[in-house]
Each structure stands twice: as structure tokens, then as C-alpha cells.
A and B are shown apart, each in its own frame.
Chain A
Amino acid sequence: MSDRPGYRTVERPALTLADRLVFPAILKGMAITASHIFEKKVTMQYPEEKWTLPEYYRGVPSLVMDDENREKCVACSLCEFVCPPRAITIVPEERPGGGREEKQPAVFDIDMLRCIFCGYCEEVCPEEAIFMSKEYEVVGRSREEMVFHKDRLYEIGGVRKDPHRKWKNADDEARAQGRGHGHGPAQV
């Protein structure tokens, strides 16, 4: 049956006496395990030693401020809508003093028990106000504690240098065009 085209018989190596006695193989195995006793250990002593996280790491989502310590979020609620497990709760309010930004979040909560660290919120945000941080040690003693409020989210996010300087450029543009507001689509 093995002479069928495309088939090749593989000879099983016959067991030698040493193989049958098993003990030589056992001793060989023991030598291998014993050599590992003296090998360098791969364990990372966690709380003292930590991973260096890659740039693309998705930790706790956090809110960031721009270079001028301004709240970037304009409470557009896009992230709230896109969030698959509905972890985000936003209550918008009018931004006092007016200016380019009309709204700001009065309440911005992320329930870390719900968050799945998918990063959609970071992706969808038109203001680049929400970023996945590298923080991953999320602990709490109660469910309430696991809901991160705005202040905590800013604390984690901190200030983020904005390479686009979107608003500044928009300001300049608007000024050049003789319009007052640079924020949002041009109003005719």
C-alpha cells in the first residue's frame, strides 16, 4: 500500500535495548532539567521591575490638555457614541467666557470596569483630546472607585504637545480671512 504514488513509507526507527530499558532516557531527561536549574531565570520581579511599553500600547484612556493647559475636549460626545461597551458618560455644559469653544464637559466619566481598551475613543476624537495612556495598573476597592472622573483622567493624561496646533493655525487663518472665529467650518 505504500507504493502508491505520492506516498512514502517512513521507517520507524527500531527501539534499541537502551530505549526499551527507559532508564537511559530518564537520566537524559533529568540531566536536561538539572541543567535548567542553573540557567538564567526569565522571571521579572514585577512591582520592582516593569516592562518597557511599546509606543502603541493601549492603557487606560485619558484626557489631555494642550500646551497652554487648555481643556481640549469640546464635549462633542463622539467618543461617548463610538465606545462599544458604553464606558464613557459625558454631560456637556456651556463654556464660560465664550470664545471659539462653545462647550466643555461638565462631567466626563469613564467606567474602567466597562472599558475594553479598544482605543476607538482616541481614534474618533476630532479634537485629539482623548488618548490611550500607558497606565495599566487599574485597581479599586469598589465599583464606584473604578469610575474615573474628569480630574483623574486629566491627571493620567497630563499635557500633550500638540504637533498640529490646530486651533492656533485656525486662528491665524481666520484672522487672515477677517473672520472672528477659527473654530469649526467657516460660517458664511
Chain B
Amino acid sequence: MTTWPSWQPEVLSFLPAWLWKVICIFLVLQMPPILVSLLVWAERRVSAWIQDRVGPNRVGPFGLLQSVADLVKFVFKEDVVPGQVNRVLYSVAPALAMVPGLVTFSLLPFAERFMVSDLDSGLLMLFAISSLAVYGIQIGGWASNSKYALIGGVRASAQIISYELTLGLAAAVVVLFTGSLNLAEMVRWQSETRILGLLPAWTIFVFPGGTVAFVIFITSAFAETNRLPFDMPEAESELAAGYHVEYSSMKFALFFLGEYAAMIVMSGLMTTLFLGGWSLFGLERVMEGTIWQTLIQTGIWWAKTLFFLFVFIWIRWTLPRFRYDQLMRLGWKVFLPLSLANLLVAAWMRTWGMWGASA
């Protein structure tokens, strides 16, 4: 039990370590549902703004309760199970799609003293769990016993597997730089190392290895989360709705929740790996050890993550969908060699020092 580093704010140091963990788990558990509903609202508002519309603004202040209304609608909708489906797999798939998104939340380091699990293999664990989501999508597509769902599921698995490679290779660059697989350790390295003695060595600033890795990572993240311009598995103009075309009511909502949770985790990962996580030019060291520091760090972390989420939405309403062969070509013929080369460059940078930032 005491193997946990008892990182906790000083004010709360009277709490036993395990209790602080329980509190963390409780708080982190609240995050996905709240954020997903906020995100669905933001998605609709931002899309509306981009199209010169207003968007949902009737339910609650600024339409913020729209997602609650949506949820109520989902709950009360009839849960149609089509006759031709494989019943067991059909019911399991939405849960399989959602659970990885929620579990990976427990690995994100929100602040130095506020995270559920401080694993030394955090990054590996995160990739291991988040790639399980493809099972939910694939099984959902298969169990639906419908051609559109099947094609959507097959596309999803092909796409996710292809881009997982580049995603991993881009993340490997960060591992090279920081010398750790521990997400919190990575953030600490980024906030404490300086480039040329002044700029914090957020990986994105470590040119060229880190910057290129970031570009590869964010693009692969779009493909991983099936977001436009890579939403081939859903491609409503070709596949109706892809893998969840046969789903309705709460089962559909679970797919939805999983997709958005994965998006949040990906944004959080980008924040952590490339944008210095909870650090912001020394602001993260203000009031060291107090609960305020934890709050500030969490705030910084979320601000960065929310920015990435905004970019996700922004891109979605800017770009049209890629063609499937373009997507595959980009993944295998452009990004894979590029990320391998980039890894090499990063290794050289690591060996020969990077702008005075080598630790």
C-alpha cells in the first residue's frame, strides 16, 4: 500500500495515502461524463459558429444543458435490437468501446499531486488500453450483421492499427528525450529542462525531432479517434453511420461516449507528451506543496487539453473527409517512414545534445 508515492498536497497530508487515492479516483471518475457532455455541446456550438449559425442556446444558460436533454432522450428511446444480430456480441460491443476511454483517464497526470496511478510504464499502459477500443468497434460492426456496419468496423480496425504505429513512434521520441515512460516524469522533465537556458523544453519546442513528432502525433490522433478528416469508419455519406448504424438508444450513446472519451484522452496525452502537461513557464511552482498548486496545475493541464479538444472540433468543421486509399497511403507511405526518420533524428539529438536541453 505504501508503494504508492504519497504525493498529496501538504494541507491534505494528514490523509493516509490510500484515502487521497480514493479521492483522486472519485474526482477523476466524474470527469469523463461531465466533459463528454460539455464536449458534445461545444461541438454543436462551435460547428454552428463556424457556419455562421448560433447553435443550441435554449436549454439552460448558453444551451449548456442541451447534452442533459440529449441524454434524457437517449435513456427514454426504445432500445431496438435488430433481428439479425448476434445478441451477445451486439450488447457487449458498446461497453467494450466505452470502457478503454474511461480507464485511460486513470493514467493521465492532471497535476503533480493529483493523479490516480503514477505508473512507471504509464505510456505503455495507456497505449495498451486505448487500443482495446478497436475491439468494441470491430465487434459492434461484426455483430450487427449489416454490410455498412461491417465495412465501418473493418475500416476502423485497419485505420487504427495503421496509425497506432506512427502514434507509438512519435511518442517514442518523447520517451527518448525524457528517458522515461512515466507520464508524470515526462512532464517534470519538460518543465525543468530549458532550451538555450530559457524556453522550457516542451517537446513541441525541441526542434526538429519534437516538433515533427508532434505533427505526426496529432495527425495520427485524429485517425485513432476516428475524427474527421479521418472518420472513415463512420463516413455517413458512404456507410450511413458505419459501425454503429444498427445501434439505438443507450447503446448508441455508449459508442458516442467512448469516442469522445478517447478524444479527451488523446488531447490529454498531447498536452502531457508535447506541451509540458501541467507546467506553464514557472506558474506550476507557485505555492509549492499547497492545495492551490495542485489546483493551478490541474487548471493549466485542462486549459491545454481543452485547447486541443477545440482544435479537434475546429478541424472537423474545416476539412472534408479523406478518401480511404489516401488515408492508408498517408499512414504507410508518408508517416511511417517520416516517423522512423524522425526517431533517428531525435536519437541523434539526444546523443549530441539538443539546443542545450539535454539532461
Contact = CB atoms under 8 A, between A and B. Distances in A.
Contacts of B53: 41-43
Interface string A26-41: 1001101110110111
B318 interface: yes
A23 interface: yes
A36 B50 contact: yes
Given A29-B319, A30-B318, A37 B54 contact: no
B154 to A, nearest CB: 26
B52 A30 contact: no
A36 B315 contact: no
Nearest to A39: B52
Contacts of B315: 26, 30
A36 B52 contact: yes
Interface in B291-322: 314-315, 317-319
Contacts of A34: 50, 314
- How big is chain B's contact interface, by range? 10 to 19
A42 B52 contact: yes
Interface string B41-78: 00000101111111000000000000000000000000
B340 interface: no
Contacts of A36: 49-52
Contacts of B51: 36
B52 A41 contact: yes
B22 interface: no
A37 B318 contact: no
Contacts of B46: 37
Contacts of A23: 215
A40 B52 contact: yes
B215 A37 contact: no
Contacts of A39: 52
Nearest to B45: A37
Contact of B49 (A29, A30, A37, A45): A37
Nearest to B49: A37
5 contacts: A26-B319, A36-B49, A36-B50, A37-B50, A40-B52
